[in-house]
Structure 1
Amino acid sequence: MKMIKTSMLTSVIFSFLWVSGGTALAEEPNLEAESAILVDAETGKIIYDDEIDVILPPASMTKIMTEYLVNEAVKSGKIAWDDEVKISDTVRELSLETNLSNVPLRQDETYTVKELYEAMAIYSANGATIALAEHVAGSEGEFVKLMNEKAKEIGMENYKFVNSTGLNNKSMDGQHPKGTKADEENMMSARATATLAYHLLKEYPETLETTSIRAKTFKEGTEDYIDMQNWNWMLPGSVFAYEGVDGLKTGYTDMAGNAFTGTAERDGMRFISVVMRTDSREARFKETAKLLDYGFDTFTYEKVIEKGESVKGKKALPVSKGKEDAVTVAAGHTLSVLVEKDQKEKMTPVVTLNKKYFNEDGELIAPLKKGQAVGLITIENDKDDEYLQEEMRENVKVPLVIQEDVEKAGWFSLSLRSIGGFFGEMWSGAASFVKELF
């Protein structure tokens, strides 16, 4: 009987929402993972979170940082994609460990940065990863220092890097990086991992050209060739193929369990997902699919204000000492925000003026230049949203800009205004006096 009553009540509530035109909130997915997060890749806005600050071993998701630093070194000119990389004894020995993900590396063969990078990003090759770390920093120990410095620089929290690969240090047979301990392991939270992925994709979006490769032959035409299959089984043509997936990195160790940092784009909307400690290799992709389904099914990008459009009530601002006594202002860029579908009407633009451009009377001070930013336009209810980092809130703000030049008025015009103001005040005072007489 209780079940019938509950069912009837649910039906009544649903009918009420339908008749009244209300929109029921989408139900968040129920995930089987120790930690998970879903983020808007454009702004860093968090739209799903579950234990996102718990610090866990990321396993080979560590390689996202190595990818970042290799791209950075190439961009700065420190290394080049066609550089030939020297293979050290440590790298040679590790690359032959068949119980680890690897491509065999020899010391009498040549390998370019690009070849090793592809082996790392596609096949999670550990020896290739350390070879890149040594090429960038001289040793893996020095590279680890760069990893931790970069994490701090981009504002990551809850992390610790002790090697470039994500392997357990103890599994490296005493060859772990100098300055680290044999029993140490890389650690990151889901938020930290998503933050790292966010910065990688923002600064080096071309990395997706490599992470989206489903299969490639390493050193094709040589006796050491190996067919690399991408461990990301959500890429097109893979067993768990998901529309729009083009990255990013899987991870597994006994201690870390199965983890996956994914990213997918559809119709100009991209999400970054992280799941940590799922039950199996397959589960990490199934749980990721739940997250991405939630994102794409529930959210959309909506334009709040177009470039050149004015905010209601703030179309013009007063000007002091200018040839014009007011100037029109409008959005310097189009502001689009991620919202739940059919919720655009709740996105109200609001203006915040920059006080340094205004006098005590709230007037802009001439001269003024077209395009000069004098404030910001943001969203009224954005305060309740959460972002990977607080400064990412700036991603949902656009400048409020002046629409035309305003020259400073000459001394003669200013004098006439002053005189006019003086006599205007006299006239107002006289009129008030006469009115009081009657």
Structure 2
Amino acid sequence: MPKPTPKPKSKTASKSSMQTRRNAVYLLDQVLGEGRLLSELIASGALERLEPQERARAQRLATETLRGLERADRLLQKHLQKYPPLTVRNVLRLATLELCQGGAAHGVVNDAVEIVSRNKRTAGMKGLVNAVLRKVVAQGEDAWNLLRVPRLPKWLRGPLVQAYGPETMMAIEAAHFAGAPLDLTVKGGAAALAETVGGVVLPTGSVRIADAGQVSGLPGFEAGEWWVQDAAAAIPARVLNAQAGEHVLDLCAAPGGKTMQVAASGATVTAVDDNPARMERVRENLKRTQLKAELVVGDVMAQKGSYDAILLDAPCSATGTMRRHPDLPHAKDGSEFGDLIGMQSWMLDHALSLLKPGGRLVFCTCSLLPDEGEVQVEEALERHNDVRVDRTALEVPGIEPEWITEEGGLRLRPDYWSELGGMDGFYVACLRKDG
């Protein structure tokens, strides 16, 4: 019996596909040409004209292209005598990624040519785009898979190789290239939720879902039973181990994952952040999860009071989150690291001044750089004779002994739990003030 003839794609669907790809190219232009972060672009409404599904796809295409940028460039350089303008390069990169991931050649190539044709500055290169992509199609998907795992830019790779060695660096890069599954922090029973959503319970108690789809459509979202939070990001609050009746200060609190963890313990929480828009997200998340915290929009350094426990998630390079944010190493160049390190020291000193005698402070950063973690704690101990590291706080289910560092902190890396999908890079330490 002959197979039925497939229905041709409608003009509306074809136009939608082209618009999605066009917007993905715009995102790439902004990241690679203007040094902007995807999160900032999305928050500013860069894709607001797209339908939610198209917006998500455009963001996913841009993210995956950035993740595989080195491979795309290596395949394209074989067919280019010189690099074309950035927008054309990004059209080629995006199309190459799709073709090498099994995208339908006809639709991908036609949309790429159409995107270039619509811009007066690039219209003259539509023939080049068509010819180059036809050659990529002829190479086949195997050419992509034979290339090495993409490496981080030299400005970042150098310091990380110095910190961890070349073998570990390659394992970290493999974790970045693999991307990140979705992790949830659960108010109640993690096992029950994992069974409901088809996920697994990680050793530290988070629920991990490999292919989540639309987050807001997952069971328990509307009821506020959980929130999205990488498993590594959930560990600092577990180390703090807030107790009912304690007064806890959460500094640099937005977007609020740790605030909700502390609030769920029954502690009285004051959450501080200087970004009004991000604090509005905290407010919305607290409302959805039916948890309570006092929210303060203001400068961390202006805070006063005396607290039983403090959680300081200090502003940092965010180099530990690159498996979820592959735009970061391309949008930044490391020039701001010095200022961030200085800010972390000031915030840590001020936070310690707000801690009651006998109280504890968890300092953490989502960074892979020792200067933003291990070194900060070592130097803080030198500045404060009445503060010590509390190693017993790290006795949290799921924490491996080899993750504990010489000075008594916790070093988390993307290559840990590689068989489970990795984790974000984080540094966590618990400091206790003498009573």
Report the structure, 1 or 2, having the larger helix content.
Answer: 2
How does the TM-score come out when normalised to structure 2?
Answer: 0.20
Report the structure, 1 or 2, having the larger strand content.
Answer: 1
Structure showing greater radius of gyration is 1
